[in-house]
Chains A and B, each alone.
Chain A
Amino acid sequence: MHNHIVKSYDMEFAELDRLTAQMGGLAEKQLADAFAALDRRDSKLAKAAVASDKAIDNLEQQVQERAIAMIAKRQPLANDLRHIMTVLKIASDLERVGDLAKNIAKRALAVADETHPKPLMSGLRHMTELAMKQLKDVLDALSTLDAAKAREVWHSDAGLDALYNSVFRELLTYMMEDPRNIGLCTHLLFGAKNIERIGDHTTNIAENICYLVEGVAMNEERPKNDETSTMIVPNPSA
């Protein structure tokens, strides 16, 4: 990828990639911590996960500043130009992942004193595991510029959507069974939605990796399995 005649240009790319990788690592950790805090009702961990968002935001700003400076200084072309532009977009996706994880951590704080019904958390746990795997795989694909691996992530997002549908249905049912569950379940529902959105950001990143490597935008129809926008659960008393 590198080997420019101007060595400092190579170093700028290395730095840009390092910052992006660091953002990815932080986003992974933040999501893991946010879910653990929710699962274990651990307020301390939740607060730490909320606070760590600042670091991701700072990194995104650094990526942006460096990318703009590189464009101004080097007038990049071809794969160099795609590299800088995709890193910019990927950084903004990772920043969003951080925001969504932070939101889960905040909800963990809000429901810290409630008891969580075990089966509910298992759905969310499964979703988090899938999202974590997608995030990890897509970051690996980025560091190795592996378009095939990025495509796998892209396809796997349908599984996360399907899982989200069932968690959504489950949470609605709980709320109908006992209105005292509504507070907790609403927070969990938003948590599940956040994880589903994190999956969407990993698919964005996967698309950008394919564009970076192959030079053409992916124009396949995205695998969309999220049916919750049109979903209702019949009232059991009706």
Chain B
Amino acid sequence: MEALALDMTVSKRIETERTAAVTAAAKPAKVVARDVNVYYGEKHALKHVDVDIPDRGVMAFIGPSGCGKSTFLRCINRMNDTIPTCRVTGRITIDNRDIYDPELDVVQLRARVGMVFQKPNPFPKSIYDNVAYGPRIHGLAPTKADLDQIVTASLEKAGLWGEVKDRLLESGTGLSGGQQQRLCIARAIAVDPEVILMDEPCSALDPIATAKIETLIDELRTNYCIIIVTHSMQQAARVSQRTAFFHLGTLVEDGPTQQIFSMPRDQRTQDYITGRFG
């Protein structure tokens, strides 16, 4: 009986996933890129990328090293601005607003578009201060009580609260790798972003910590637009509803994850995901 009930939940869940993938494609996209090109000096690193990224879902970027997926990810919060030789052309909008508009405040943009990196990089501060940092500089918490509330809620959403609630004043760098990564996620969501970029967030973590982060991503997707770069095909298949494959600076194909991994349209995608070229 219990097994049957479990079966029902699983099949219901699969059904919901399927509808989610379909409706996600039908909804207006959160992030839209049109003819995006990136040059590092003379090198044309990203070529004519067009993609629509739906809200409240996870989109995975896959592709061999140097294919441009991280470069494109960094365009979405204008991190490439910090590289002097880097030039970006084309148009990227979030909610129809051009993020390369010269009048746009880049600091505000980065508050709306959070980022989590491959290597957990907590500040050498307390757990509390790591999470409180963003809300403080953006002036999101008028009182100490507000700030406490944001820190607690963010750590809860990041699935870390239970493990750290009694040692909030200890250093963030003293946590395990997986905990540090969840702390970084808590820090990213503390400023209430709309888009979360994750650049290989699990590649420095063990399988248990990876499973926790994946569970977290699955929960966060009901409220955020999440874009994840990953080298693990299985991870992309597990956590995302849509997947885009990059190769040699071009976006080869994107579509529902299920379709990309079972019946890709492009031969290059098939060769890459089945381990035929690198």
Q: Interface of A with B (CB < 8 Å)? A: 3-6, 9, 74-82, 215-216
Contact = CB atoms under 8 A, between A and B. Distances in A.
A233 to B, nearest CB: 46
Contacts of B262: 77-78, 81-82, 215
Given A78-B270, A79-B270, A5 B263 contact: no
B274 A77 contact: yes
Contacts of B269: 78
Given A215-B262, A215-B263, A78 B275 contact: no
A6 B275 CA distance: 8
B41 interface: no
The 9 A-B residue pairs with the shortest CB-CB distance, nearest first, are A215-B263, A77-B273, A80-B274, A78-B270, A77-B261, A4-B275, A78-B274, A75-B234, A5-B275
14 contacts: A4-B274, A4-B276, A5-B276, A5-B277, A5-B278, A6-B275, A9-B275, A76-B274, A77-B262, A77-B273, A78-B261, A78-B263, A79-B270, A81-B262
A75 B276 contact: no
B236 to A, nearest CB: 10
A3 B276 contact: yes
Interface string B223-254: 00000000001100100000000000000000
Nearest to A4: B275
A80 B264 CA distance: 12
Q: Which of B237, B274, B278 has the most CB of A within 10 A?
A: B274
A82 B264 CA distance: 12
A82 B276 CA distance: 16
B270 to A, nearest CB: 5
B274 A79 contact: yes
A84 B188 CA distance: 42
